[in-house]
Amino acid sequence: MMDKLRVLLVDDEEELVFTLAERLKIRGVDAQAVTSGKAALEAIEQRSFDVILLDVKMPGLGGLDVMKRIKARDRKVQVILITGHGSAEDGAQGMQSGAFDYVMKPININDLLTKLQAAGQATREGR
Amino acid sequence: MPHRPFCEQDLLFFGATTASVSHELKNVITIINESAGLLHDFASAAERGRPLDPQRVKKTSLDISRNVERAVEIINRLNRFAHSADEPVRAVDLNAMVRDVVALASRFAGLRGRQIDAVVPGSAVTVSAYAFGLHQVLFRALGLAAEALPAADPIRLDLEPTSGGAILRISRVPIDLPEQARARWGELVASARELGVNVVQSGEGRDGAIGLVVPSAAP
């Protein structure tokens, strides 16, 4: 039996990130939520994840900086970016910087789950 | 207070403001979306025989109500900003304007890990002014303070009524401005002068302040 998908959610909007984590847990995902880039880097020191779901725009350490540092520590983990901008350009730019995929706010949970599963598989196959 | 045609800087400010507000609004809508989805998840689980927790349902529905209020506040703020350009001179409630500009500037400041603390008097302070221009001048002044203060220091803004109008005072800004702030100083003084607002420095050394002296009525 396959282990649960382990996802770290990172967004400075506390209500959003904890509600989203709860919805993913209901769907059988091992989801952990943090509200800053700094907390994300601390979390990946404590345990490994299959996918990092990361907001692009955060105070202090922004999403793309966090992604760079995560990838420096664990090259194989896949990152999905959350973008709040109206156009898909931010997401496309993020993918050029190394993200596996992106989702736009407001988030479609089924779309997100499909992308998380794909990213998680890519991480596990890469390890 | 003199009025002038809209210029490129005005458009840039308008664009930056509406982009920031739309981003903030989208975040709130996203939270509402997730909370509504969570309620749906609870109902689906109940249909499959899982007991419904009334407290969780209540909490989630209250979260939705609270975020709807938050969205309304953001939209009202945007509406006030949009209408600030309606007339060259009108009565401006400086208390409300400070709250609106600080809310806007706080988003930008927050992205750099910085906070803005604003203190307004209990009673309304009104002047007759070009509201859009004043918004912009105050926003520029806060941007300059962000460049001048050491990283992570909070920015302190006080609105003080005077016999001739009001002073918007930003404290703890060094008298000797760092290089990146000096370029902004010239732009701030020029744009303020167009509105009849004087920009003054006071205090000594690192304990200086920038004051925007706003007259009570347009000249």
Band (A2; pLDDT cuts 50, 70, 90): low
What b/e string do you get for A67-99 counting C-beta neighbours within 10 Å, with b at 16 or more? beebbeeeeebbbbbbbbbeeeebbeebeeeeb
Instruction: Please judge whether A57 and B22 are an interchain contact, meaning their C-beta atoms are less than 8 angstroms apart.
Output: no
pLDDT tens for B66-98 read: 999 999 999 999 999 999 988 888 899 999 999
Band (B1; pLDDT cuts 50, 70, 90): very low
Pick from A23, A53, A22, A25: nearest CA to A40: A53
pTM strictly above 0.90? no
Phi-psi region of A60 (alpha: psi -120 to 50; beta: other; left: phi over 0): left
Q: What is the pLDDT of residue A92?
A: 81
Amino acid at B197: V
Higher pLDDT, A74 or B43: B43
Interface membership of B162 toward A (CB under 8 Å): no
Quote the longest CA-to-CA distance of chain B: 73
Interface membership of B75 toward A (CB under 8 Å): no
Instruction: Please judge whether A105 and B41 are an interchain contact, meaning their C-beta atoms are less than 8 angstroms apart.
Output: no
Amino acid at B14: F
Instruction: Please judge whether A16 and B41 are an interchain contact, meaning their C-beta atoms are less than 8 angstroms apart.
Output: no
Per-residue pLDDT at B2 exceeds 60: no
CB-CB neighbors (< 8 A) of B60 in chain A: 19
Cβ contact B88:B3 at 8 Å = yes
ipTM: 0.89
Of the partner residues B30, B60, B110, the one whose CB lies closest to the CB of residue A105: B30
- Stretch A97-110: mean pLDDT: 94
Per-residue pLDDT at B4 exceeds 70: no
Interface subset of B 175-214, CB within 8 angstroms of A? none
Instruction: Please judge whether A84 and B29 are an interchain contact, meaning their C-beta atoms are less than 8 angstroms apart.
Output: no
Q: What is the pLDDT of residue A28?
A: 96
Q: How far is CA B68 from CA A81, B18, B56, B170, B171, in A?
A: 26, 19, 18, 33, 35
Tokens encoding B18? 């509406």
